[in-house]
Chains A and B, each alone.
Chain A
Amino acid sequence: AQSVTQLDSHVSVSEGTPVLLRCNYSSSYSPSLFWYVQHPNKGLQLLLKYTSAATLVKGINGFEAEFKKSETSFHLTKPSAHMSDAAEYFCVVSGGYGGATNKLIFGTGTLLAVQP
């Protein structure tokens, strides 16, 4: 079975400082891992995804995440926060390979606040 744990429900940073959103996963298979961002009352936008290629994944808006199998982690980082980064971030795992049963398992989310 797959699961994902987001270690922080809230993170607050100052504009221009680094962002670190932590995520640990559990999977019986070689997982696919995703980070999505959700702005208030909006759908989800894919930031980046790991699919067994390079362990350091670069996404949109300057975000990146590193897949560390030994630590079962997939933390999301950004060197310098922008006010527009304030949103809810979800770490997501999908186990196994393709097909209609390839469900997404969502973390509980991390609310990122960016202070001016």
Chain B
Amino acid sequence: GAVVSQHPSRVICKSGTSVKIECRSLDFQATTMFWYRQFPKQSLMLMATSNEGSKATYEQGVEKDKFLINHASLTLSTLTVTSAHPEDSSFYICSAEDEGIGDHYGYTFGSGTRLTVV
């Protein structure tokens, strides 16, 4: 089945630095990928939709200059948290649309990245 690899699984960085998270579709091409943020004991909140070869679509309230998304190929999307602050500490998860069934697409999730900003 479809597999999405997300890297790194954990990262600790200092305030003010930038962190890049990668999301790769290993055995399928993903025109569209999604980035989510999950706070402790809460649900997933969609941050942005990443489209190969075009600009990402950000959800309301998400700073596009803070969370840079690049989807340069059909198998790779990256999320860069710029000038990280402790409040950016969270669990970030990506997902990719796979072939699904008929008109209804399926979604495969990465294993997540635990970001801690100190």
Q: Which residues of A contact B (CB under 8 A)?
A: 32, 34, 36, 41-46, 49, 51-53, 90, 94, 97-104, 106-109
Contact = CB atoms under 8 A, between A and B. Distances in A.
Interface of B: 6, 31-32, 34, 42-46, 49, 51, 57, 91, 93, 95, 97, 100-112, 114
Nearest to A44: B109
A51 to B, nearest CB: 4
Contacts, number: 69
28 contacts: A32-B105, A34-B107, A43-B109, A44-B44, A44-B95, A45-B109, A46-B106, A46-B107, A46-B108, A49-B101, A49-B104, A51-B100, A51-B101, A53-B101, A97-B104, A98-B100, A100-B49, A100-B51, A100-B97, A103-B46, A103-B49, A104-B34, A104-B46, A104-B107, A106-B44, A107-B43, A108-B43, A109-B43
B105 A103 contact: no
A44 B43 CA distance: 11
Contact of A98 (B44, B103, B108, B112): B103
Main SS at interface, chain B: strand
Contacts of B108: 46
A36 B105 CA distance: 15
A53 B111 CA distance: 29
Nearest 6 pairs of A and B residues by beta carbon: A43-B111, A51-B104, A44-B109, A32-B104, A97-B103, A106-B43
A90 B44 contact: yes
Nearest to A41: B114
Contacts of A32: 104-105
A62 B7 CA distance: 31
A52 B100 CA distance: 13
Contacts of A90: 43-44
A36 B93 CA distance: 13
B107 A98 contact: no
B34 A103 contact: yes
A41 B93 CA distance: 10
Nearest to B45: A106
